[in-house]
Chain A
Amino acid sequence: DAKTTQPTSMDCAEGRAANLPCNHSTISGNEYVYWYRQIHSQGPQYIIHGLKNNETNEMASLIITEDRKSSTLILPHATLRDTAVYYCIVYTGTASKLTFGTGTRLQVTL
């Protein structure tokens, strides 16, 4: 499975869009990009995923570059409840080692 690189931390003002980048330059053609978040010490929670097209759901939007080497998770109107660690990982549909990096710690402030 491809490795990912994310900034260690980011700040965002409440009500503004939070844009979290992820590099996955060694991604293979059949690997999906998944985003999860972990609030405090709870179990990580799924946010969104995609293969090559941009995706949107009730929580966020995912923008994947055309070469698929990077992606951006967008929280359109960040709230204090979005303060969490966000993980980007890539994997295929078959069972495999699913390894997480250290993620990005997003702090949403008033």
Chain B
Amino acid sequence: NAGVTQTPKFQVLKTGQSMTLQCAQDMNHNSMYWYRQDPGMGLRLIYYSASEGTTDKGEVPNGYNVSRLNKREFSLRLESAAPSQTSVYFCASRLDGNNEKLFFGSGTQLSVL
């Protein structure tokens, strides 16, 4: 039981390049989330998904797209990376229902030059 797995752990991009951050969970969770964390700041919600095939915008969705093709995986895509997207990205998941906590991945550190 690996929990929430994010790949890659580190990535350096040039401005304008595209890439996809991968997230997978093996806990049969319904809901999945993408957050970004800038240095010295809190977590900000980018997108979330309540179930397979559905996604909704969070607080800071501009410049990102997401895909929830199946229950396990929730990917985050940067179509044209900008230096302002330099951040640490965290994926999280949880079951629906009361008493259900969030489980987080270990993060992806992204630098856009």
Docked CA distance A85–B88 (Å): 15
Give the residue name and chain of the B residue nearest to A42 (CB): B106
Docked CA distance A102–B105 (Å): 19
CB contacts under 8 Å to A, within B55-113, are 56, 58-59, 88, 90, 92, 96-107, 109
Interface string of A28-58 (1 = CB under 8 A from B): 0000101010000111111001010000000
A: number of interface residues (CB 8 Å): 24
Number of A-B residue pairs having CB atoms within 8 Å of each other in the complex: 69
Q: Is the CB of B48 within 8 A of A98?
A: yes
A57 to chain B, nearest CB (A): 12
Docked CA distance A97–B48 (Å): 7
Docked CA distance A40–B56 (Å): 29
**CB of B2 closer than 8 Å to a CB of A:** no
Q: Is the CB of B102 within 8 A of A98?
A: yes
Q: Which residues of chain A have C-beta atoms less than 8 A from B33's C-beta?
A: 98
Q: Is the CB of B48 within 8 A of A45?
A: no
CB contacts under 8 Å to B, within A90-107, are 92-95, 97-103
Q: Is the CB of A95 within 8 A of B90?
A: no
Q: Is the CB of A100 within 8 A of B42?
A: yes
- Of A34, A42, A51, the contact of B101 (CB 8 Å cutoff): A34
**CB of B30 closer than 8 Å to a CB of A:** yes
Give the residue name and chain of the B residue nearest to A93 (CB): B98
| Partner-B contacts on A (CB < 8 A) | 32, 34, 36, 41-46, 49, 51, 85, 87, 92-95, 97-103
17 contacts between A and B (CB under 8 A): A32-B98, A32-B99, A34-B101, A34-B102, A41-B37, A42-B106, A43-B4, A43-B90, A43-B107, A44-B90, A44-B102, A87-B42, A95-B31, A95-B48, A100-B43, A101-B42, A102-B42
